[in-house]
Amino acid sequence: MTNEYYPHILGFLCNWCCYTAADSAGVGRYQYPPNLRVIRIMCTGRLDPSFPLEGLANGADGIFVGGCHPGECHYQDGNYQALVSAALVHEMLDRLGIARERFLIEWASAAEGPNFVKIITGFTQRIAALGPLGQTEGKDPQAVRRDLAEAAEAARGRKIRTGLINASREMMKGRDFSRPVIAGLVQDKCGKALQEIYGGGSVGS
Amino acid sequence: MNAPAPNIKSVVTSGAVMVVGGGVAGVQAALDLSALGYKVYLVEKSAAIGGIMARLDKTFPTNDCSLCILAPKLVEAGRDGNIEILTKSEFLELTGAPGHFTARVRKEPRYIDEDVCTGCGQCTLYCLKEIGDDYNEDLRVTHAAHIDYAQAVPTSYHIDPKSCLQLNHQTCGLCATVCKAGAIRFDDEQEILELSVGAVVLAPGFGRISDDNFRQYGWGRFDDVLTAFEHERLMCASGPTGGEIVRISDQEHPKKIAFLQCIGSRDATCGNNYCSSVCCMYAIKQATLAREHDPDAEITLFYMDVRTHGKGFDAARERAVAENNFRVIYARPPKVEDVFDGGLLLTWSDESGQHNYEKFDMVILSQGLESPDDAEQLSQAAGIDLNPYRFAATDNFTPLATSRPGVYVIGAFQGPKDIPDSVTQAGGVAGLCAGLLAKGRDSETVSASFPVERDISDEEPRVGVFVCHCGINIGGVVNVPSVRDYAATLPNVVYATDNLYSCSQDTQGQLVKIIKEQRLNRLVVSACTPRTHEPLFQATMREAGLNRALFEMANIRDQCSWVHMHEKEAATAKAKDLVRMAVAKACLLTPLAEQQLPVTPSALVLGGGLAGMTAALTIADQGFECTLVEREKELGGRTTLLSRDRHGNDPRQVIKELVRKIENHPKITVLTEATLANISGYVGNFTSTVEGVQKSLERLHGAEDARQRPGDNTLVCEQADNEADLAPCNRSTVINHGVVVIATGGKPYQPTQYCYGESNRIITQVELEAQLAAKKPLPAACRSVVMIQCVGSRGDDLSYCSRVCCGQAVKNALRIKELAPDTQVTILFRDMRTYGFMEDDYQRARQLGVIFTRFTPTAPPRVKVGKGGKSKPTVTIFDPLLGEDVERSADLLVLATGIIPEEPEQLAKLLKVPVTADNFYLEAHVKLRPVDLAVDGVFVCGLAHAPKSIDETIAQAQAAAGRACQPLARGTIAPEPIVSNIDPAKCIGCGACESFCPYKAITIFKDGKLRKARTITASCKGCGVCAARCPTLAIDMGRFTYGGIMAQVRAFNPQGDE
């Protein structure tokens, strides 16, 4: 696999759960593919929606975000906030016609070294199957990365971020943290801003 | 006080405490004592601290990963300069008096030098001698040279002298050859230490139920009969099966699992008549996890009574039972039999007397907690008394004090208990020691001092990169020299080198030298994980005059060399990438100011009952001012509703004595008929307004000076003229204080069920308490008393169990039997929750003929009563043995009603602290921070936290007081500098950050006409949610800046475009 193509994967791991899980995988000497590069953040709640987009724009073929299991956030609800940011990233990937499978947000508790290994191994295989960014999409890699850089810029913009604030508010009010519900909230609250940028309907091909 | 009395050898109060036992209780006590300004000797028998909690997979009721929440505490203890961990050490003898004891301790050799060992594990790898792995309940093997578990503190290996080939036969010594650090010491010797300490805390934990007990249930004969601790290791991902629950006999997943409760508890045959308190709940946890491992598993739990009386436990249990379809059977199968096709046969008779039998694939024995195996030795060494079950003897009203003054006991050795109760007691004992040794505070501690930080604001980044070999841990996989050379080529890197062990003591000295020589202003260490080692390097940086925020680590061991052991080239490439990303981030790091915020050294305690008064006294004894606010006219609270405890003491007398102490204490100001009208501020700096009457008592004991320190409690109230004339003045009082303790208490639930109020023969247990202490305790010709448990509790009106009612009913039943032995007493119950040593009362009541009849919530007792206030009630109950309803006329019907907390809403809102659905205050962490609330500087104790008994209330109040005094003792608070920063120029005042901040650490304020956000640095924990949600990117996080993370992202870009 590595001879033909070496997927580049960037990870954002929260200090308390997933980063610790990655460490404990090391202590247990569990082996996994050497494709992941990790950026440590204190909480997945810190995940700015622009980070994964920038990561893809800067040479990653896949982005992994790892946090604490739902309800186990070291702070209180940072991982739910991360789901909101993640929903936006997925939404934008859809609109750009980029395989949404290139972005994964998953959980591993500090004790779950083996689980972390499973997630990363699976994700690496998935990205390897998708090929370099642009391949499965049938697009020019340079153009895709340009699109992504623009998307990241949009994710730094006030309109989209205001939409995310409203989606987060609704989520906290409704206390339903399931991914489809959060995706719905983000589509609803950021829809207008996204339409201004990308025009047309919501979920892409 | 100032003039030393002649002829008495003047002795200085020690500022050191010895804690015996390094389990969670001992470690917590050590940390709390250190935080209060005391030197701690933490004496641990084994080679590592952590105790039993380190062996658990998860903890109930939240099923948090046990080691994950414990490990940070262990590391903290290991790093604390004021905690000296003595492993493989045993406490031998104690001489002297409280305040100045001498403790003799024998320290056995580790044969591996703790200070030199780097924890690389080469010795284990090469050790030829296999031994049972005790940490894994001997379910797998380790080697004579080993570390107890991966996260052990001290992170140092040791050699088992009983099995080492070199030590016994001089035939090996391989470990010494392969140890690159040169840490092996075959000539290591036993030492006897004499420690000068002011107090001793015993926290040895609990012992193991004897194998004979397990054998009775087939353990040791049948492979698939496991103790609960063995099962715990099987469940654990780091356990012998990598987290797979499999039958030992055939490695198959068990489909039918049975849990047998009360193994070694509530069992006269083994002498442990008491209840171990924790097994009912941990069985539920284990059963739940077993189902998670295998959703097809059918699980049966055999209970005598379901004793899940802890806070939130009933709810967690009920949910678990419903969700996982557990079968709960009230029975005690007497044995396990083997049937020939590999199944395990259980037989039992149920409550209707019917016999049943069934086959299971696996049987788990829920073992109880026994007194420590060396309890007698320990009692002799410490000179303390034991109770009949060989636990430390303590008094109901001084639960943490042993029979010897200055020697305290906490954790399971004080009586079987769970983790939160142990942690609570640890906090309490720290408060008590700090009171006893108030004069010795800070006398034996060291505070790390660092040189003045170099101003680097005008300097270009000068990054130094240190790549670690970690012996062969990294160097054996990653080509370290090539990483080093690569690092040297990166922008802004002015120095790059490699070290065999970057963390070793001598390398730290080298680092300081190099930082100075090379004028480095950023440091990147490319080694293990920042989670364990960042603080070490940061301390080194500070020694070299650099701000600790100028540090970044590249994790090339735990997340690289260890996980890509067979892909050396790829691992080396990854290490280079990680170093490049770290350097990119490092260039953008800026110094972060160490915040030092002053603390008003006084406390506010809300509630003048048993909890509040105990807390106030424990705070004041430590030398801090304390204001005690009580809503009623008198102090005392509702403990006075009880007329006797189970030992025969009168709680009302104890309360009276406590009130006297409070009113005479020079450091305590009492405000009665007073309520908190307002509170603002944050930890260290609260300002409260209390409305009501002040009992201005301080002049009684000449504390004129106490009021005059600026910044102290500013009391607006006028002073009374003489002591007889404690003129109340109805004014509001403004109080400045550093911390708050909530002890607002609870009250009895008022029943409407069971015809309560229709006859004076139907009363509550609380009313019975008063009656039993009166002249005519029982109605004339009282022949029959019926008691009904759980009135309004456990899902009836209140969802929870009130914990104390079962014990109270049994106690009062015994009192009735004592007064009138011929009276027939019947207790109708759901589960008799006489946990701990209260089980003795339960047994005694049964022996004296008290009848216990179980009812289910679907068939509760029915009560009829005739007209007229004196008519006798009739109680009808379904008798499972007879299989029919039984009617009984009662001369007295006593209802056990639960406890409800005082309405918390207003106070909770003022303090911004969460409460549970049942209106109890919600602690910051149910396991490890049981008296802290989510808002720093606010603590809770007593019934406001959850229903609890007198001794538990006292211990918890002492804990709240101990914890509350930590910021007061330090005098300043230093929040982590990774807090959020708001750029006012970019902030549009939308308030999103304020609403999403989990810690109320951001507020919106008016800046002229504009709304702006402001970080309350003292409250911020650095999660960064505010930054991720800020619409204008006006918020950035210290060390984890937007720019820094973006630099990492850009540096991630594999340079060669492919």
pLDDT in tens, B797-816: 999 999 999 999 999 999 99
Min Cα separation B768/chain A (Å):
44
Would you state the structure tokens that stand for residue A129, as one six-digit string?
Answer: 């199957």
Q: How confident is the model at residue A26 (pLDDT cuts 50, 70, 90)?
A: confident
Q: Report CA-CA distances (Å) from B1005 to B705, B936, B994, B1016, B1020.
A: 38, 21, 11, 12, 17
Interface A-B, measured as beta-carbon pairs within 8 A, has a size of 177
Averaged pLDDT for residues B2-29? 80
A50-57 helix and A141-155 helix, angle to the nearest 10 degrees: 160
Side-chain half-sphere of A12: how many Cα atoms within 13 Å?
A: 32
Side-chain half-sphere of A21: how many Cα atoms within 13 Å?
A: 28
Chain-chain contact of A37 with B64 (C-beta, under 8 angstroms): no
Q: What is the pLDDT of residues B292-314, one digit of tens each?
A: 889 999 999 999 999 999 999 99
DSSP bridge pairs for B686: B681, B737
ipTM of the modeled complex: 0.96
Averaged pLDDT for residues B317-335? 93
Min Cα separation B502/chain A (Å):
18
Chain-chain contact of A77 with B998 (C-beta, under 8 angstroms): yes
Q: How confident is the model at residue B421 (pLDDT cuts 50, 70, 90)?
A: very high
Chain-chain contact of A42 with B996 (C-beta, under 8 angstroms): no
Would you say B366 and B259 are in contact if contact means Cβ atoms under 8 Å apart?
A: yes
Q: How confident is the model at residue B628 (pLDDT cuts 50, 70, 90)?
A: very high
Question: How many Å is the Cα radius of gyration of chain B?
Answer: 31
Chain-chain contact of A46 with B1040 (C-beta, under 8 angstroms): yes
Q: What local confidence, expressed as pLDDT, does residue B4 receive?
A: 44
- Which of B1027, B1049, B1053 is facing A46, going by the closest CB pair? B1027
In this predicted structure, the answer to whether residue B708 has a pLDDT above a threshold of 70 is no
B-chain CB neighbours of A32 within 8 Å are: 563-564
Tell me the pairing of strands B39-43 and B16-20: parallel
Q: What local confidence, expressed as pLDDT, does residue B60 receive?
A: 85
Q: Report CA-CA distances (Å) from B855 to A8, A31, B41, B812, B828.
A: 64, 55, 51, 20, 7
Q: How confident is the model at residue B726 (pLDDT cuts 50, 70, 90)?
A: very low
Min Cα separation A91/chain B (Å):
17
Q: Is B550 helix (H, G, I), strand (E, B) or coil?
A: coil
Share of chain B above pLDDT 90, in %: 77
User: What is the spatial distance between Cα A116 and Cα A113, in angstroms, rounded to a whole number?
Assistant: 5
Q: Report CA-CA distances (Å) from B312 to B284, B309, B749, B928.
A: 13, 8, 18, 15
Q: How confident is the model at residue A4 (pLDDT cuts 50, 70, 90)?
A: low
Averaged pLDDT for residues A136-155? 96
A78-96 helix and A50-57 helix, angle to the nearest 10 degrees: 40
Q: What local confidence, expressed as pLDDT, does residue B1055 receive?
A: 55
Please state, as a whole number, how many other Cβ atoms lie within 10 Å of the Cβ of residue B637. 27
Q: What local confidence, expressed as pLDDT, does residue B695 receive?
A: 57
User: What is the spatial distance between Cα B373 and Cα B806, in angstroms, rounded to a whole number?
Assistant: 31
Share of chain A above pLDDT 90, in %: 79
Q: Which of B562, B152, B582, B237 lies closest to A108, judged by CA? A: B237
Tell me, yes or no, if B563 comes closer than 8 A to chain A by beta carbon. Answer: yes
Chain-chain contact of A26 with B558 (C-beta, under 8 angstroms): yes
Averaged pLDDT for residues B762-782? 93
Q: For A74, name the nearest residue in chain B, comparing CA atoms only.
A: B1023
Q: How confident is the model at residue B447 (pLDDT cuts 50, 70, 90)?
A: confident
B-chain CB neighbours of A161 within 8 Å are: 1029-1032
Q: What local confidence, expressed as pLDDT, does residue B58 receive?
A: 86
Min Cα separation B542/chain A (Å):
22
Would you state the structure tokens that stand for residue B36, as one six-digit string?
Answer: 């209060």
Would you say A7 and B538 are in contact if contact means Cβ atoms under 8 Å apart?
A: no
Q: How confident is the model at residue B338 (pLDDT cuts 50, 70, 90)?
A: confident
In this predicted structure, the answer to whether residue B8 has a pLDDT above a threshold of 50 is no
Min Cα separation A1/chain B (Å):
13
A-chain CB neighbours of B1025 within 8 Å are: 43, 45-46, 75, 77-78, 81
Tell me, yes or no, if B1028 comes closer than 8 A to chain A by beta carbon. Answer: yes
- Which of A41, A82, A111 is facing B67, going by the closest CB pair? A111
Per the model's pLDDT, the better-predicted residue between B316 and A116 turns out to be A116
Would you say B605 and B627 are in contact if contact means Cβ atoms under 8 Å apart?
A: yes
Averaged pLDDT for residues B573-582? 98
Share of chain B above pLDDT 70, in %: 94
- Which of B557, B1040, B1049 is facing A55, going by the closest CB pair? B1049
Q: What local confidence, expressed as pLDDT, does residue B6 receive?
A: 45
- Which of B67, B571, B1052 is facing A10, going by the closest CB pair? B1052
Helices (H), ranges, A16-140: 18-27, 50-57, 78-96, 113-130
CA B530 to chain centroid: 25
B-chain CB neighbours of A19 within 8 Å are: 531
Min Cα separation B562/chain A (Å):
5
> Does the pTM of the predicted model rise above 0.90?
no
User: What is the spatial distance between Cα B502 and Cα B470, in angstroms, rounded to a whole number?
Assistant: 7
- Which of A49, A78, A109 is facing B1025, going by the closest CB pair? A78
Q: How confident is the model at residue B705 (pLDDT cuts 50, 70, 90)?
A: very low
A-chain CB neighbours of B151 within 8 Å are: 27
User: What is the spatial distance between Cα B293 and Cα B285, in angstroms, rounded to a whole number?
Assistant: 12
Q: For B557, name the nearest residue in chain A, comparing CA atoms only.
A: A26
Chain-chain contact of B563 with A37 (C-beta, under 8 angstroms): no
Q: What is the pLDDT of residues B869-892, one digit of tens each?
A: 788 999 999 988 888 999 999 999
Averaged pLDDT for residues B843-867? 95
Range in B49-53, B120-124, B556-560, B1025-1029 the model is least confident about: B120-124
- Which of B531, B998, B1052 is facing A75, going by the closest CB pair? B998
Per the model's pLDDT, the better-predicted residue between B713 and B930 turns out to be B930
What are phi and psi for residue B58, nearest 5 degrees? Answer: -130, 170
Q: What local confidence, expressed as pLDDT, does residue B703 receive?
A: 38
In this predicted structure, the answer to whether residue B709 has a pLDDT above a threshold of 80 is no
- Which of A17, A39, A132 is facing B1048, going by the closest CB pair? A39
Tell me, yes or no, if B995 comes closer than 8 A to chain A by beta carbon. Answer: yes
Tell me, yes or no, if B983 comes closer than 8 A to chain A by beta carbon. Answer: no
Min Cα separation A195/chain B (Å):
18
Min Cα separation A165/chain B (Å):
6
- How high does pLDDT run on average in chain B? 91
Q: What is the pLDDT of residues B670-703, one digit of tens each?
A: 999 999 999 887 889 899 999 976 554 443 333 3
Q: What is the pLDDT of residues B462-506, one digit of tens each?
A: 999 999 998 778 998 999 999 999 999 999 999 999 988 787 766
Q: Considering only residues 501 to 560 of chain B, which have any Cβ-Cβ distance to chain A shorter than 8 Å?
A: 529-531, 555, 557-560
Would you say B432 and B558 are in contact if contact means Cβ atoms under 8 Å apart?
A: no
A-chain CB neighbours of B578 within 8 Å are: 37-38
Range in B210-214, B375-379, B727-731, B856-860 the model is least confident about: B727-731
Min Cα separation A55/chain B (Å):
6
Q: What local confidence, expressed as pLDDT, does residue B694 receive?
A: 59
Chain-chain contact of B1025 with A43 (C-beta, under 8 angstroms): yes
Chain-chain contact of B1028 with A46 (C-beta, under 8 angstroms): yes
Would you state the structure tokens that stand for residue B930, as one six-digit string?
Answer: 């049981």
In this predicted structure, the answer to whether residue B1028 has a pLDDT above a threshold of 70 is yes
B-chain CB neighbours of A75 within 8 Å are: 998-999, 1021, 1023, 1025
Chain-chain contact of B563 with A30 (C-beta, under 8 angstroms): yes
Per the model's pLDDT, the better-predicted residue between B934 and A18 turns out to be A18
User: What is the spatial distance between Cα B193 and Cα B560, in angstroms, rounded to a whole number?
Assistant: 43
- Which of A15, A42, A58 is facing B1049, going by the closest CB pair? A58
Best probe of the A interface among B55, B148, B1025, by most A CBs < 10 A, is B1025
Q: What local confidence, expressed as pLDDT, does residue B70 receive?
A: 85
In this predicted structure, the answer to whether residue A203 has a pLDDT above a threshold of 50 is no
In this predicted structure, the answer to whether residue B400 has a pLDDT above a threshold of 90 is yes
User: What is the spatial distance between Cα B225 and Cα B362, in angstroms, rounded to a whole number?
Assistant: 6
Chain-chain contact of A23 with B237 (C-beta, under 8 angstroms): no
Q: What local confidence, expressed as pLDDT, does residue B505 receive?
A: 63
DSSP bridge pairs for B813: none
Q: Is B784 helix (H, G, I), strand (E, B) or coil?
A: strand
Q: Is B399 helix (H, G, I), strand (E, B) or coil?
A: coil
Averaged pLDDT for residues A110-126? 91
Min Cα separation A92/chain B (Å):
17
Give me the amino acid identity at B635.
L
B-chain CB neighbours of A109 within 8 Å are: 65, 68
In this predicted structure, the answer to whether residue B631 has a pLDDT above a threshold of 90 is yes
Chain-chain contact of B567 with A58 (C-beta, under 8 angstroms): no
In this predicted structure, the answer to whether residue B727 has a pLDDT above a threshold of 70 is no
Return the exposure string of A115-126: e unless at least 16 CB atoms fall within 10 Å of the residue's CB, then b.
Answer: bbbbbbeebbeb
Tell me the pairing of strands B463-468 and B522-527: parallel
